[in-house]
Structure 1
Amino acid sequence: MASIMMTAMPFAGHARPIRAVAGELVRRGHDVRVYTGRSYTDAFADVGARPVAWEAAPDFDERDYAVTFPRMQEAKGFRQVLVNLEDLFLGTAPAQTTDLLAAHDAEPWDLLAGDPMALGTRFAAEHLGSPWATVSPIAYWPPGKGIPPTGLGLPPARGPLGRMRDAVLGAGSRAGTATLTRRYQRTRRLAGLASDAATFDSIWYSPQLVVSAGSRGLDYPRSDIPAHVRFVGDLTDDGLSTPPAALPEWWDDVARSEAPVVHVTQGTANVDPTDLVLPALEALADEEVLVVVGLGHRTAPLAGPLPPNARVAPMVPYPALLPLTSVMVTNGGYGGVLQALRHDVPLVIAGGDLDKPEIAARLGWHGAAVNLRTGTPRPDRIRAACREVTSDPRYRATAARLGAELRGLGGTRAAADHLEAHLTAAH
């Protein structure tokens, strides 16, 4: 049995996959602690891990960031993403380091395995010289040869003009992230560390081991992924729900539906229903489909009457829903996309900001999704995209190919295998 400290940013899209890995490690007999915000301590305790709550780090509620971080409003776009990076991810890292070092003083660990966006993980590992692995619920898509800069949602270009485009955009991207790299170096000094040679693209990931959700096949073709990166598919453990999520009262309508089932979700981050949920309901109201909307844990009930072919619930259990789903309409949240593909479900993706334009671009490039190229699509574009995906079998065939790759990578069990191997090698 080993002592393992994991870290998880207190967001649903990060905590749930890391919880699944923690649960698998507990099942194998390891003593697992998880450093996370108080809103998720019970969830980790439910799978047998020992939660360690943020103390020096300013804890927050993902339903209202601005209470803790006044500059973080419910705004969208690149400028707000920069604020999020500066205030939340970089800004809390020195205090995270303080908490983690205190936890190690009280009870040393054998391995630190962290959420890439919990930057205090990196700083604590450097202070202690302890074995360190990244467990990434987000896509590992670093900059590389032959692809445009990450964050723009552009597919690879072709020909001399395309290569020139990517070179110009790459230079602009490097100049843009230089400011954030300087902010990172200042943050290191606040955490009691000397400057290093890391760039803003590389600071989040362990140079020893990266265990990443997803697969090589979801990325563009490339040959420059480091050898220490291990893809493990979908980090979802459907058996960890305690108790199992209840089916909504209208579930028989789904189970018996002869019309195609279209699942609509905006995930757990940007959840304003006017972005995607309401336009999708309008778009599909007169289509011969059954629309199943999952609002998530942050969205209030929808006002007004629903179209007759729509069913809405805060949460709809994916193990029951996705095997019956013909297409998922989504904002491109990585966890939901992976679960859809794991069930061979093609997608319509409205990726607005953060990593979602990149997810939409890649799935559209592969042919498993229609990329709407906006986070706020018009109803007519959603309607046309759903018709295209449901009528062209190539979308489901591509989703099934990618899903088979994801399923074959082993998920949480493979993640635990890699972490155990890293423990053995380190000791």
Structure 2
Amino acid sequence: MTRFLLVVPPLVGHTNPLVGVADELAGRGHDVAWCGNAEQLGRLVGGGARIYDCPMPRDEHMVRPPGLTGPAAFRFLWENFFVPLADAMAPGVDAAVEDFRPDLVLTDQHTLAGSLTAERRGVVHVTSASTSAELVDPLAAFPKIGAWLRELMNGLRHRIGDPRAEGDPRFSPYGVVAFTGRELIGDAPLPHDRVRLVGPVIAPRPGDGGFPWEALDGDRELVLVSLGTANTDAGGRFLREAVTALDSLRDRVQGVVVDPGGLLEDVPDGILVREYVPQLDLLARASAVVSHGGHNTVCESLWHGLPLVLAPIRDDQPIVTEQVVTAGAGVRVRFGRVDAARLRTALETVLDDTGGHRTAARAIGRSLRAAGGRRAAADLVEHVAAGTPVHG
């Protein structure tokens, strides 16, 4: 039996892929523990999981101005969230390593307290990359920002890691599990030859027992609209335009709209609006997805062979969106300017497959399913823990 410690940030999209991996490892007889925000982990990983709680940064670090995009949003994210998160979590991760004595730490790419603590304590670690964006070096065209980020991470390494170490703490030299596929990232070189592209993890999650399945109309095409859980502050106008677009297509389309902030009022009959939804179950029934370009939603949709209408807001979303459009599996609209008429046109384009988007999505889905998902991820960390060299 091998002991695996999974270190994650307080971000649902970064945790969900590892839930299935943890279940797979536990099913193989290994001992698995989690380290992060105990309250959130308790909701996401199910009862009975061993959880080590970590302090989180003060709330003011985590609130980003809604209109912040582009390089400014990237700098804010690192300077005001990821680095304070690492500093705050480091004592908790260190205590978890001391108590649990893991054979391997599996740590999220952006939870540097995991990689740097493992580095300092001499514990083998593997990176979990929940997005494809940084695998392709998005800062290649912005050398000054790249240098700034390296300096930021170097300072963090001197505070909580091993100052003598080298290399990028976002990519473990032992191995990287990336929940994406080559069809999305194209021919771009990977950070090193120990990156394994395993596709999304499609595994049971704690469900929404109150979802009104009986309200779904089997005679209409189901369209899911979701901006994820981290964009509530920016999504009101877009969701209202999406509802209008869906209502204009009500003869052929039934919309399910995720509205965690309760921003929508006076929704037309026939459109379901929910605070949360059982996304994987809905994707199995859907015909298309409207999304912000969040990596998990994109890959889970493509795994199901669904074409996408994408309206990226910030962070990795423009990069992921460009990957989808380049692969032919979706169309892009402008988040801040698109109206209901343009959204309707975009939806009709992917639903009618006039540009081959559904055909491309299904081809990508077949490739993602063949990548192995949680089993391939579990294989990699088992091999690394056993000291077996791993190559992508």
Deviates more, 1:188-197 or 1:278-287: 188-197
- Whether the 8 Å CA contact 1:19–1:47 is kept in 2: the answer is no
Aligned partners of 1:395 and 1:186: how far apart in 2?
45
Structure 1 residues 98-154: Cα deviation after superposition (integer angstroms, max 9, x where no partner): 22222222331100110011011121121112111012222254346xxxxx27xxx
Aligned partners of 1:228 and 1:347: how far apart in 2?
30
TM score, norm. by length of structure 1: 0.83
* Residue in 2 that maps onto 1:93: 86
Aligned partners of 2:90 and 2:98: how far apart in 1?
12
* Residue in 2 that maps onto 1:344: 305
Which of 351, 371, 377 is matched with 2:332 structurally? 371
Which of 108, 117, 141 is matched with 1:124 structurally? 117
The reply on whether 1:400 has 2:362 as its aligned counterpart is yes
- Whether the 8 Å CA contact 1:349–1:370 is kept in 2: the answer is yes
Mapping 1:221-236, distance limit 5 Å? 221-224=187-190, 226-236=192-202
- Distance 1:367-1:89 versus aligned 2 partners, 3 A rule: same
- Distance 1:315-1:13 versus aligned 2 partners, 3 A rule: same
Mapping 1:54-69, distance limit 5 Å? 54-55=54-55, 57-58=56-57, 67-69=59-61
Structure 1 residues 282-320: Cα deviation after superposition (integer angstroms, max 9, x where no partner): 223222333323425x422522x2123422122332343
Offset at 1:176? 2.2
Structure 1 residues 188-222: Cα deviation after superposition (integer angstroms, max 9, x where no partner): 22225426654xxx431211100110111111223
Question: Could you say what the CA RMSD is over the residues aligned between the two structures, in angstroms?
Answer: 2.4
* Residue in 2 that maps onto 1:77: 69
- Distance 1:396-1:192 versus aligned 2 partners, 3 A rule: closer
- Distance 1:4-1:346 versus aligned 2 partners, 3 A rule: same
Aligned partners of 2:62 and 2:209: how far apart in 1?
36
Which of 188, 192, 197 is matched with 2:157 structurally? 188
Mapping 1:217-296, distance limit 5 Å? 217-224=183-190, 226-238=192-204, 240-241=205-206, 244-246=207-209, 248-249=211-212, 251-256=213-218, 258-271=219-232, 272-287=234-249, 288-295=251-258
Mapping 1:415-426, distance limit 5 Å? 415-425=377-387
DSSP 3-state at the match of 1:312 = strand
Which of 152, 174, 178 is matched with 1:212 structurally? 178
Offset at 1:35? 0.7
What residue identity is the alignment partner of 2:157?
Answer: R
Which of 82, 92, 98 is matched with 1:105 structurally? 98
TM score, norm. by length of structure 2: 0.90
Q: Give the fraction of aligned pairs with identical amino acids, expressed as a percent.
A: 26
Which of 343, 354, 359 is matched with 1:382 structurally? 343
Aligned partners of 1:223 and 1:186: how far apart in 2?
27
Matched residue pairs, number? Answer: 385
DSSP 3-state at the match of 1:33 = strand
- Distance 1:281-1:44 versus aligned 2 partners, 3 A rule: closer
Structure 1 residues 204-258: Cα deviation after superposition (integer angstroms, max 9, x where no partner): 12111001101111112235563201111112312x42xx432533x334242x2
In the TM superposition, structure 1's runs of 4+ consecutive aligned residues that sit over 6 Å from their partners are none
- Whether the 8 Å CA contact 2:21–2:201 is kept in 1: the answer is yes
Aligned partners of 1:222 and 1:70: how far apart in 2?
32
What residue identity is the alignment partner of 1:99?
Answer: G
Structure 1 residues 349-368: Cα deviation after superposition (integer angstroms, max 9, x where no partner): 00111111011111111110
Aligned partners of 1:23 and 1:375: how far apart in 2?
39
The reply on whether 1:177 has 2:146 as its aligned counterpart is yes
For structure 1, the residue ranges without an aligned partner over 5 or more in a row are 61-66, 145-149, 152-169
What residue identity is the alignment partner of 2:92?
Answer: D
DSSP 3-state at the match of 2:284 = helix
- Whether the 8 Å CA contact 2:309–2:330 is kept in 1: the answer is yes
Aligned partners of 1:32 and 1:293: how far apart in 2?
35
The reply on whether 1:323 has 2:284 as its aligned counterpart is yes
Structure 1 residues 18-42: Cα deviation after superposition (integer angstroms, max 9, x where no partner): 2221122122221111111133231
- Whether the 8 Å CA contact 2:289–2:306 is kept in 1: the answer is yes
Structure 1 residues 34-80: Cα deviation after superposition (integer angstroms, max 9, x where no partner): 1111332313662643111103x53x6xxxxxx34276344431323
Aligned partners of 2:308 and 2:175: how far apart in 1?
31
